[in-house]
């Protein structure tokens, strides 16, 4: 398995980061991608990727952090993106639930990341909350090609639109929730070659860990819920999503 989205630099992991990674590997997680959320967090993500073989990094400025970004932060991200263990651009995107008056700032931030992704050929990792139409429109206008829709919880039509454009669709903890029948029906129809799995640790813990700190070793719960939704064996989902993640992020075996 590959956990395509974690925030390993989060202070929640300060007490036991090495143990968290050891547990992940024991649980069958062969690689994980840690996402920067601003310039400082992107620097930390790259440091973690340098320190731990199993860790890869993506660098970017999260939509909720975009309004606080300082002049020079984009240059920091653009310098980091060429690092050999940086495999993606993000976390970026649009978050209209937490935009305040910063919709335009978020949109400009997303466009800049889409351009960086095109320039370096590394996939764009997109956070989307309550902004489906604008995300799709901006990605199209910026001719984004390699795109990961992170923590997908959208409706079937949105999944279909993403898959039709060749975007990857990453599924996390919410697919395990008892009341997530509708999401499981959507996930069941995501094309095999587009599907990724993630934990978004330390957030979005899967059932039965909901409400507590999430960590990459819990990825198996996501895989099992996806397998149940698709009527497949969990090992088949683990293998297929690992293969997809390797292709998406260019990770060798
Ligand atoms: Zn995230």
Backbone angles phi, psi at 223, to 5 degrees: -60, -40
The domains of the chain are located at 2-249
d(CA 28, CA 181): 27
Cβ within 8 Å of residue 234, ≥6 positions away: 220, 223, 224, 227
Instruction: Kindly report, residue by residue over 32-83, the tens digit of the pLDDT.
Output: 999 999 999 999 999 999 999 999 999 999 999 999 999 899 999 999 999 9
Yes or no: say if 198 and 4 are a contact pair by the CB < 8 Å rule.
yes
Distance 174 CA to ligand 1 centre (A): 14
Centre of ligand 1 to C-alpha 79, Å, is: 21
- Give mean pLDDT, residues 109-133: 98
CA-based nearest residue to 93, from 47, 61, 121: 61
Task: Give me the architecture of the 2-249 domain, per CATH.
Answer: Alpha-Beta Barrel (3.20)
Mean pLDDT, rounded, for 4-28: 98
- Interatomic CA distance for residues 53 and 44, integer angstroms: 15
Largest CA distance in the chain: 50
- The pLDDT of 115-119, averaged and rounded, is 98
What is the 203 CA–ligand 1 centroid distance (Å)? 8
């Amino acid at each position: 398995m590959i956990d395509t989205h974690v925030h390993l630099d989060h202070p929640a992991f300060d007490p036991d980061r090495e143990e968290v990674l050891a547990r992940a590997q024991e649980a069958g997680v062969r690689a994980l991608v840690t996402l920067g959320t601003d310039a400082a967090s992107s620097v930390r993500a790259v440091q973690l990727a340098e320190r731990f073989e199993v860790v890869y990094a993506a660098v970017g400025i999260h939509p909720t952090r975009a309004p606080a970004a300082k002049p020079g932060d984009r240059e920091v991200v653009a310098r980091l993106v060429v690092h050999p263990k940086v495999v993606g651009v993000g976390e970026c995107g649009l978050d209209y639930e937490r935009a305040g008056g910063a919709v335009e700032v978020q949109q400009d931030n997303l466009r800049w990341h889409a351009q960086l992704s095109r320039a370096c050929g590394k996939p764009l990792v997109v956070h989307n909350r309550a902004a489906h139409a604008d995300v799709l429109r901006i990605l199209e206008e910026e001719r984004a090609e390699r795109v990961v829709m992170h923590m997908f919880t959208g409706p079937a039509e949105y999944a279909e639109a993403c898959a039709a454009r060749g975007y990857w669709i990453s599924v996390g903890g919410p697919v395990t929730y008892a009341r997530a029948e509708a999401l499981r029906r959507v996930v069941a129809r995501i094309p095999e070659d587009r599907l990724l799995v993630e934990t978004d640790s330390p957030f979005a813990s899967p059932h039965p860990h909901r409400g507590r700190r999430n960590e990459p070793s819990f990825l198996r719960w996501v895989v099992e819920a996806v397998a149940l939704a698709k009527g497949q064996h969990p090992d088949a989902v683990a293998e297929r999503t690992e293969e997809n993640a390797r292709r998406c992020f260019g990770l060798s075996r």
